[in-house]
């Protein structure tokens, strides 16, 4: 969708071009990008002077604690100076403990300013005596992403030898469209938001991708694969990879996606072997990525990963595993057996295209995808990370091989929320560190950071921002995380109601309204494409009859739409529930003033292959025009397609064991 988008007004580049084109406005590379912006006398926030001093960073800390916003002029100047500094840095930063007592390593922060301030309070502000490595994912999800990343960049400028930042998978402008940073910037900086986002896009692409301490400890955001080559990574042009979610642009142009899609559609339309096609969502070959809750993976509820095989990067498509080589992917009833295919993610869907030969720029891209997106697994080998839709699962043997090859002894990575804020695996050779406490829900997890001294023995420090949840037991924290995950899963069940009912009724030949637990689990797994322990989850999602069978209608009892919408076309409302987030992203991309409801819907319906008339769109619009002013505020639209948990008690405070 992003590559084939045409400006609807016909007047040339608009927000999508400004945000998604690889060419950054040359104006942003000059001091004029901030010099021309006037700071009014009425502005009461911090006034920065460059080069930054300790008084400037102290002023930022005080201002952000008081909920103040840094003026756009200083944001642009800070980004401009940060970009100049980052351009001089290597892809892999090498540090030594011989010059300092200890180095502190922090994981994902995701816009949690309170967590960052607590780390600084407990461990000390960045300085020569207290050097830091922040291991990516500074932004998205949290409400204070701009404040977090400004503080990190400010300390990087103040102490470039003692403050170190690795790139994470969320330092990516397409991820920012989905997970909140873009929206936050546009809300806080309405006048200069586009320029700020463009400069952030460029700055993120210049962030180093790894750090090595004493030649023995490798720090990367996600992980590694069996194809990871640190020597190759150290010499690539990291700046070319603006987004790990998209193939290099030249490859996309060579592939001619539009023509490939037409060919695939024609071949599929003549495939008479698909007796199940009428139960599928759409004739287009697009699948939802399996992304739930507030994390990129639903790993806490998934079962063991697929059997090991040699593979590096993969992209969005839960089943079957994907190929980044000229070899055919495993056959699927949805695809012709004699065509090699590649799943390319666009927003939360996937487009099928023939795979290219891997030119240099694509090899570089795949190496970075693996570093930013991969996760460790307990099984040997390396397999596509089909659950996240990018990177791979790497086993203990892959870890041992890379450590031996480069003379390393430990990998520190982040990328996954852990109950205690950290976790060891692969016989202690891989450590996950996660620094955003209360990530899923209040009280769901602790945050942590690591301190490494000259002996390179990691010491872990845990914390939790909220006093009311600090004393929760492990069981209570697990329940908080599970509750959030179950709510996300129930929403996904509700959004696929028609397909699920059709699957249940196939098993229920006598129309009893009940199926066996085994049949229920099989239908859920096949429709939702999620590899979860469905039998274990059954009691959380449905009611069991006295005979042990599942009342499958009960799966949908405690959920409903916020309002009842007219059925203007079959399953339209359900489709919109399912792709509500995609609609929001598209709308924010193409419609800065939220006036183009019909154009937004046309682009979205064309992507899904949903045939709907202008009259039907108007009927839909009238039903969600709550204030009857003749126009649709996009907030109204989103609220209309919000799933309501009728029995949800998430607003009630969590009780501690003493209550």
The DSSP annotation for 54-86 comes to HHHHHHHHHHHHTT----HHHHHHHHHHHHHHH
Q: Name the catalytic one among 71, 164, 170, 173.
A: 170
Copy the structure tokens of residue 518: 């085994």
Q: Is 170 a catalytic residue?
A: yes
Average pLDDT of span 421-450: 92
Q: Give the pLDDT score at 529.
A: 83
**Mean pLDDT across the chain:** 75
Q: Is the pTM of this model over 0.85?
A: no
Instruction: Say if CB 355 and CB 375 are below 8 A apart.
Output: no
Copy the structure tokens of residue 498: 């028609």
**In whole angstroms, how far apart are CA 317 and each of 247, 286, 323, 523?**
15, 9, 11, 19
The DSSP result for 508-541, as a single string, is -TT--SEE-HHHHHHHHHHHH-----HHHHHHHH
Average pLDDT of span 198-225: 96
Q: In what order do the strands lie in the sheet with 430-433?
A: 92-95, 210-213, 217-219, 410-413, 430-433, 422-425
464: left (phi over 0), alpha (psi -120 to 50) or beta: beta
- Per the DSSP assignment, residues forming a β-bridge with 164 are 133
Alpha-carbon distance of 124 to 558, in angstroms, equals: 47
Most confident of 35-39, 319-323, 423-427, 542-546: 423-427
Instruction: Say if CB 203 and CB 82 are below 8 A apart.
Output: yes
Q: Give the pLDDT score at 443.
A: 76
Copy the structure tokens of residue 561: 């739409």
Average pLDDT of span 366-388: 92
CA angle 339, 345, 347 (to 5 degrees): 145
Contacts of 268 (CB under 8 A, 6+ apart): 274, 283, 285, 334, 335, 336
Q: Give the pLDDT score at 486.
A: 79
Alpha-carbon distance of 548 to 531, in angstroms, equals: 23
**In whole angstroms, how far apart are CA 375 and each of 385, 390, 445, 647?**
8, 10, 19, 34
Alpha-carbon distance of 119 to 461, in angstroms, equals: 10
Nearest by Cα to 336 from 263, 409, 281: 263
Peptide bond into 207 cis (omega under 30): no
Nearest by Cα to 282 from 329, 350, 344: 350
Residue-wise pLDDT for 257-298, tens only, equals 444 444 544 444 444 444 444 344 333 333 333 333 444 443
Count Cα neighbours of 499 within 13 Å in the Cβ-side half-sphere.
Answer: 23
CA angle 543, 639, 491 (to 5 degrees): 25
Q: Give the pLDDT score at 475.
A: 64
Alpha-carbon distance of 566 to 632, in angstroms, equals: 16
337: buried, middle or exposed (CB in 10 Å: 19+, 13-18, 0-12)?
exposed
Alpha-carbon distance of 373 to 272, in angstroms, equals: 38
Mean pLDDT lowest among 70-84, 209-223, 357-371? 357-371
Phi, then psi, of 544 in degrees rounded to 5: -95, 135
Kindly state the percentage of the chain with pLDDT values over 90. Answer: 42
């Amino acid at each position: 969708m992003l590559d084939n988008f045409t400006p609807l007004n016909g007047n040339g580049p608009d927000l999508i071009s400004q945000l998604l084109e690889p060419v950054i406005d040359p104006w942003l590379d000059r001091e004029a990008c901030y010099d021309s912006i006037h700071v009014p006398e009425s502005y009461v926030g911090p006034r920065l002077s460059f080069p930054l001093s300790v008084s400037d960073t102290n002023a930022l800390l005080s201002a952000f604690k008081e909920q103040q916003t840094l003026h756009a002029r200083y944001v642009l100047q800070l980004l401009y100076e940060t970009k100049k500094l980052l351009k001089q840095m290597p892809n892999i930063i090498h540090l030594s403990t011989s010059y300092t007592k200890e180095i502190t390593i922090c994981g994902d922060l995701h816009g949690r300013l309170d967590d960052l301030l607590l780390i600084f309070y407990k461990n000390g502000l960045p300085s020569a005596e207290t050097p830091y490595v922040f291991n990516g994912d500074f932004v998205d999800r949290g409400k204070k992403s701009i404040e977090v990343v400004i503080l990190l960049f400010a300390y990087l400028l103040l102490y470039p030898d003692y403050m170190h930042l690795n790139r994470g998978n969320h330092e990516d402008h397409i991820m920012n469209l989905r997970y909140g940073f873009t929206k936050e910037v546009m809300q806080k900086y309405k006048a200069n938001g586009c320029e700020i986002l463009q400069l952030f896009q460029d700055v993120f692409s210049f962030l180093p991708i790894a750090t090595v301490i004493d030649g023995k400890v490798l720090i990367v955001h996600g992980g590694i694969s069996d194809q990871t080559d640190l020597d190759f990574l150290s010499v690539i042009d990291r700046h070319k990879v603006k987004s790990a979610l998209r193939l290099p642009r030249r490859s996309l142009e060579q592939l001619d996606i539009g023509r490939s899609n037409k060919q695939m559609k024609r071949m599929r339309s003549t495939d008479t072997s698909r007796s199940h096609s009428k139960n599928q969502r759409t004739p287009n070959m697009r699948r939802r990525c399996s992304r739930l809750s507030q994390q990129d993976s639903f790993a806490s509820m998934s079962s063991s990963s697929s059997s090991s095989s040699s593979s590096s990067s993969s992209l969005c498509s839960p089943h079957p595993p994907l190929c980044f080589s000229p070899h055919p992917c495993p056959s699927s009833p949805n695809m012709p057996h004699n065509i090699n295919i590649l799943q390319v993610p666009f927003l939360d869907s996937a487009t099928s295209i023939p795979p290219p030969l891997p030119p240099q720029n694509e090899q570089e891209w795949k190496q970075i995808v693996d570093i930013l997106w991969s996760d460790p697994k307990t099984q040997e080998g390396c397999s596509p990370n089909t659950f996240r839709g990018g990177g791979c699962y790497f086993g203990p043997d892959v870890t041992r091989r890379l450590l031996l090859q480069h003379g390393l002894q430990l990998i520190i990575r982040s990328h996954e929320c852990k109950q205690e804020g950290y976790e060891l695996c692969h016989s202690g050779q891989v450590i996950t560190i996660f620094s955003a406490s209360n990530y899923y829900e209040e009280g769901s997890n602790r945050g942590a950071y690591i301190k490494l001294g000259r002996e390179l023995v990691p010491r872990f420090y845990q914390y939790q921002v909220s006093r009311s949840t600090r004393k929760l037991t492990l069981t209570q924290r697990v329940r908080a995380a599970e509750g959030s995950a179950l709510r996300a899963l129930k929403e996904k069940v509700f959004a696929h109601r028609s397909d699920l009912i059709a699957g249940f009724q196939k098993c229920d030949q006598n129309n009893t309204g009940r199926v066996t637990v085994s049949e229920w689990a099989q239908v859920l797994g096949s429709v939702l494409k999620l590899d979860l322990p469905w039998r274990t989850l059954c009691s959380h999602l449905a009611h069991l009859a006295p005979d042990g069978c599942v009342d499958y209608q009960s799966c949908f009892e405690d959920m409903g739409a916020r309002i009842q919408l007219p059925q203007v076309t079959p399953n339209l409302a359900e489709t919109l529930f399912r792709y509500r987030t995609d609609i929001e992203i598209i709308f924010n991309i193409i419609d800065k003033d939220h006036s183009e409801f019909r154009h937004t819907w046309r682009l979205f319906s064309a992507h899904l292959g949903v045939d709907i008339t202008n009259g039907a769109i108007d009927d839909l619009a009238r039903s969600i025009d709550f204030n009857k002013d003749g126009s649709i505020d996009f907030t109204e639209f989103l609220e209309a397609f919000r799933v309501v948990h009728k029995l949800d008690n998430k607003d009630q405070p969590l009780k501690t064991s003493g209550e």
